[in-house]
Copies of this chain bind each other. A is one copy, B any other.
Amino acid sequence: MVAVAEPKRADARRNRARLLAAAEIVLAERGTGAPTEQIAKAAKVGIGTLFRHFPTKESLLKAVLAERMRRFAEAAGEHAEAEDPGSAFFAFLAQWVEMAAVKNAYADALAEVPRVDREVREGVLHSLGILLTRAQEAGAVRHDVGVREVIALMVGTSRAAEHLGEDAALRRRTVEIVFDGLRTRPAPGAGASR
């Protein structure tokens, strides 16, 4: 799936992969503003080759994003197979947030979900949907949240964590607050305010 006309020749395919990998790194470090030439250099490829594979910087950015999401979906899928769905759900969230806190690129990726190609987006929603549903069925997560809320919260919590920087304890405490909000309400009466 996600065919996108893979090039035939072996070296071409390899160059594409190298470019994607290099872009992943460079963009994560220098941000979207990083010059294409630097990406090409990191990939040990001529700038011309970069533009052959991705006719526009924009298109390269999108490809990197899609790649990140694919990994996100994959990771969600793996966690969905765990024994304890509740722990798996929170573990997945915690892990992703932690990664995003270090490499804000991950948060960016998730934030772009609505803008990415349908195919990729569906994959993400699907995988995460399974993980979430199981956690809810296991009674670990409140039932009035859906995948979109979870993604939004992951995006937000990543930013929050990123914002807190070095202090790991502070970061964990903050994340835990959001998690507490996601958990099944222990007692009755607490319902939404406002």
CB pair B90–A145 under 8 Å, yes or no, is no
Within 8 A of B (CB), among A52-66: none
Known: A180-B190, A181-B180, A190-B180. A155 touches B159 (CB 8 A): yes
| Contact yes or no, A155 B148, CB < 8 A | no
Asked if A130 CB lies within 8 Å of chain B CBs, one says no
**CB of A174 within 8 A of chain B?**
yes
With a cutoff of 8 Å between Cβ atoms, the chain B residues found around residue A144 in the complex are: 173
Q: Is there an interface contact between A189 and B186, defined as CB atoms closer than 8 Å?
A: yes
| Interface residue range, chain A | 35 or more
Q: Does A163 contact B (CB under 8 A)?
A: yes
A179 touches B176 (CB 8 A): no
B163 close to A149 (CB less than 8 A)? no
Any B CB within 8 A of the CB of A182: yes
The complex places the Cα of A153 from the Cα of B158 at a distance, in Å, of 10
CB contacts (< 8 Å) of A178 on chain B: these are: 153, 156, 177-178, 181
**Bound form: Cα–Cα A177–B152 in Å:** 11
How far does the alpha carbon of A143 sit from the alpha carbon of B174 in the complex, in Å?
A: 13
Given contacts A181-B179, A181-B180, contact A114 B157 (CB under 8 A): no
Task: Find the residue from A156, A159, A194 having the highest chain B CB count within 10 A.
Answer: A156
Of B33, B163, B172, which one neighbours A155 at CB under 8 angstroms? B163
**Closest 8 A/B residue pairs (Cβ):** A181-B181, A156-B160, A187-B187, A156-B156, A152-B160, A177-B181, A186-B190, A180-B181
Residue positions of A touching B, CB distance < 8 A: 33, 90, 94, 107, 111, 114, 142, 144-145, 148-149, 151-153, 155-161, 163-165, 170, 172-174, 176-183, 185-187, 189-190, 192-194
Q: List 12 extra interface pairs beyond A176-B192, A181-B181, A183-B190, CB under 8 A.
A: A142-B177, A145-B173, A145-B177, A152-B164, A153-B177, A155-B156, A155-B160, A156-B161, A177-B178, A177-B182, A178-B181, A181-B182
